[in-house]
Structure 1
Amino acid sequence: MIKANNLKKTYGDLEVLKGVDLHIQKQEIVSIVGASGAGKTTLLQLLGTLDVPSNITESSLEINGVNVNGLNDKNLAKFRNEHIGFIFQFHQLLPEFTALENVCIPAFIKKTHKKEAEKKAKELLDFLGLSHRFEHKPNALSGGEQQRVAVARSLINSPSVVFADEPSGNLDSESAENLHQLFFKLREEFEQTFVLVTHNKDLAAMADRCLTMVDGRMV
């Protein structure tokens, strides 16, 4: 599913990633842990194609059989929209739109017909226990509900892999536990692969594999 080799990232004189190799299987749930500043979020941004390695000609990144380093900007954006889902610590919902509209946005970018997108969004929100919240805007939702809307949004285009950066870091303990259980339920239901960056030891321990980063390297 994901094959990354020799990923490096520097910002000026600061070497954040020092040559990371990572292979993840289809439907695997992998957690990445490490101290702040270890390079976890930077790695997730490279894997999610939100950023590019500093050594792009000397590294490789293959997702779902596609060499993403070889794609131009237009094709990369299309690939990201269709194959990759993102969940962030701060849900990044657009406040002026309802839960249903927020979930539909990636589908609209994909040019999915409005009726089809809304049908899929409603199915996802219903699956996540939010069928009574379709028309509510983010400020009318609890933190856990907002994060579940963000999860639905990440799944709307049926991505091959979902990247989550501290997905439960802004939730109370009960909501965090519910979200953690949800990832495993989603894996069984939709056959997604999940890569989770987290400081939550319980979530990290639940994953199929827990990888540790120290000073820009996997250890």
Structure 2
Amino acid sequence: MIDIKNITKSFGSLQVLKGINLHINKGEVVSIVGPSGAGKTTLLQIIGTLDSPDSGDITIDGIDVRKLNQKKLADFRNKHIGFVFQFHQLLPEFTAIENIMIPAFIAGMSKSEAKKRAMELLDFMGLADRAKHKPNELSGGEKQRVAVARALVNNPSVILADEPSGSLDSQNKAELHQLFFDLRDKMGQTFVIVTHDETLASITDRTIRMEDGRLAQEPQPQDAPSEDLSSQNTPSQQNQL
């Protein structure tokens, strides 16, 4: 699903990413962890085509995104990548269903088709009865589930999440984390999640640790030869909530 080769990125004299090699399979739920300043969010932004690397290659769903012009890249992003952020970023003047429909309109979906798709997702999220509520009428957990539905409306190849449960209480965190696995199991979604939440990281299929702009080596079984993280293409055993 995602293949990254020797990605580098600098901001002025500060080199943030120092040769990242990473492969993520379709249907994996992967967490990226590490201290602040390790380069996690920069890597996520590059995967999401919101920023460009200085060098290296990135292929998403078979498409070499570095070869796309700006117009084609924006279209690719809209149709192939869904984003979930720490704060829901719902538009306050629109209802839940209207917020979900916006990316579908941008992608050229008809109003009737977009509404049908949005209602299907709200129903899956257990929020069908909240469709006409505006964000200020929703709880924190409900807002974030609407944001997840918005990310899914165009049936993207991958969902990228940056601290998605960082603003939620313990119960809503657990429900959101379980939702990611439900979506993977029922819709085949791939998730790449930047998080400081060790509980979330511990239940993902694979945890990728970053330190000082590089990928740290994953712990290996004692009887297994050490190998570079970038060569690991098989998800670890899935742990469910």
TM-score higher than 0.5: yes
Partner of 1:26 in structure 2?
26
Instruction: Give the letter for the 1:157 counterpart.
Output: N
Gaps of 5+ in 1: none
Among 152, 157, 163, which residue is 2:154 paired with?
157
Cα displacement (A) at 1:182: 0.4
- Does the residue aligned with 2:164 lie in a helix, a strand or coil? coil
Instruction: Give the letter for the 2:14 counterpart.
Output: L
Cα displacement (A) at 1:40: 0.4
Instruction: Give the letter for the 1:140 counterpart.
Output: E
Partner of 1:16 in structure 2?
16
Question: Within 5 Å, which residues of 2 pair with 1:1-219?
Answer: 1-55=1-55, 59-219=56-216
CA deviation string 1:61-99 (max 9, x = no partner): 000000000000011111111111000001111111110
Cα displacement (A) at 1:25: 0.5
Q: Report the aligned-residue RMSD.
A: 0.6
Instruction: Give the letter for the 1:162 counterpart.
Output: I
Q: Percent sequence identity over matched residues?
A: 62
CA separation in 2, counterparts of 1:139 and 1:39? 33
| Number of aligned residues | 216
Tell which structure's C-alpha radius of gyration is larger.
2
CA separation in 1, counterparts of 2:28 and 2:48? 16
CA separation in 2, counterparts of 1:215 and 1:91? 29
Instruction: Give the letter for the 2:94 counterpart.
Output: F
Cα displacement (A) at 1:6: 1.1
Instruction: Give the letter for the 1:90 counterpart.
Output: F
- Does the residue aligned with 1:132 lie in a helix, a strand or coil? helix
Q: Which runs of 4+ in 1 moved over 2 A?
A: none
CA separation in 1, counterparts of 2:7 and 2:108? 32
CA separation in 2, counterparts of 1:9 and 1:89? 23
CA separation in 1, counterparts of 2:210 and 2:22? 11
Cα displacement (A) at 1:7: 1.1
CA deviation string 1:91-130 (max 9, x = no partner): 1111111100000011000010001000000010110011
Cα displacement (A) at 1:8: 1.1
Gaps of 5+ in 2: 217-241
Cα displacement (A) at 1:19: 1.1
Instruction: Give the letter for the 2:67 counterpart.
Output: G
- Does the residue aligned with 1:90 lie in a helix, a strand or coil? coil
CA separation in 2, counterparts of 1:90 and 1:7? 28
Cα displacement (A) at 1:15: 1.1
CA deviation string 1:17-63 (max 9, x = no partner): 111111000101110000111110010000010100022xxx10000
Cα displacement (A) at 1:9: 1.1
CA separation in 2, counterparts of 1:200 and 1:105? 30
Instruction: Give the letter for the 1:69 counterpart.
Output: R
